Amino acid sequence: MARSIEIQAHDGGRFTGYLAEPAGGKGPGILVIQEIFGVNKVMRDICDGLAQQGYIALCPDLFWRQEPGVDITDKTKAEWDKAFALFGGFNLDKGIEDLKSSLAVLRKLPGCSGKVGTVGYCLGGRLAYLMACRSDVDAAVGYYGVMLQDHLAEAKNIKKPLLLHCATEDKFVPKDAQAKIAAELKNYPLVTRLDYQGNDHAFARVGGEHYDKAAADLANSRTAEFFKKHLA
């Protein structure tokens, strides 16, 4: 079952999130963090898939402070231009606070076991990393997170398991940044960083230009095992 819910922001105002629940109505929670295209079909499908696996999945609208209800694709230049404009105007710290508010709502849902993980893609991959650093989320997964090299000093705050899926040919993460991230994060035993050789950014976005089914299936299976281990 899927529906829209309202979330109270920490500093006033309300925003919405897409909520998908398993058939039994009970299970651990997973906070799904959007790409730069808003809470679109790709994100809703991810939530629905997690619900089929027995999780309560919530994808909050993180662009609500700029424009509520963004739902675009990666198919046209106009949509890409809008997506990058929203990314450029996104307040990272307020976004993390909105995710913390969403996390609290998810944990308090009647069917939620109290254990909550998070998974994010692109911008969401960056935010999933920061949620591991700045929140009490029980487990975090990031797919091809951007700009992680700017936040490596925060890795010392990671207290729960973090899994990062990284594309070796990511056009948004230069090779020197990849090397810097890998060198620093190998010092943290709670962090698992996995490379996907030859893959570009968004290799797991179904229907995307760089979608690679084999790599996506491998990453998704690893994510499923990771959440099963840490959220059960």
What pLDDT is stored for residue 225 in this prediction? 98
The rounded mean pLDDT for the chain is 97
Tokens standing for residue 57: 């999945």
The residues carrying an active-site annotation are 170, 201
Do residues 106 and 21 lie in contact, with contact meaning Cβ atoms separated by under 8 Å?
Answer: no
Q: What is the pLDDT of residues 6-52, one digit of tens each?
A: 999 999 999 999 999 999 999 999 999 999 999 999 999 999 999 99
In this structure, what are the phi and psi dihedrals at residue 37, rounded to the nearest 5 degrees? -105, 10
Q: What is the pLDDT of residue 2?
A: 86
pTM: predicted TM-score of the whole model, two decimal places: 0.97
pLDDT at position 195 is: 98
- For the chain, list the domains and their CATH numbers: 2-231 (3.40.50.1820)
Q: How much of the chain exceeds pLDDT 70, in percent?
A: 100
Average pLDDT over residues 171-198: 98
Read off the pLDDT of residues 54-82 as tens digits, 9 standing for 90 and up: 999 999 999 999 999 999 999 999 999 99
Distance CA 73, CA 35 (A): 10
User: What pLDDT score does 232 carry?
Assistant: 87
- For residue 117, pLDDT beyond 80: yes
Band (pLDDT 50/70/90 cuts) for residue 109 is very high
Q: What is the DSSP letter of 68?
A: T
What average pLDDT score do residues 206-211 get? 96
Residue 94, number of CB atoms within 10 A of its CB: 14
Closest CA to 192 of 122, 126, 120, 142: 142
- Mean pLDDT, range 107-118, rounded to an integer: 96
What pLDDT is stored for residue 15 in this prediction?
98
Residue 1: the pLDDT is 77
Question: What mean pLDDT is predicted for residues 165-181?
Answer: 98
The predicted structure's pLDDT at residue 68: 97
Residue-level pLDDT at 168: 98
Answer whether 29's CB lies under 8 Å from 56's CB.
yes
The pLDDT assigned to 102 comes to 98
Asked if residues 33 and 62 have their Cβ atoms less than 8 Å apart, the reply is: yes
Q: CB-based burial of residue 225 (10 Å sphere; 0-12 exposed, 13-18 middle, 19+ buried)?
A: exposed
| Span 177-198, average pLDDT | 98
Q: What confidence score (pLDDT) does residue 169 get?
A: 98
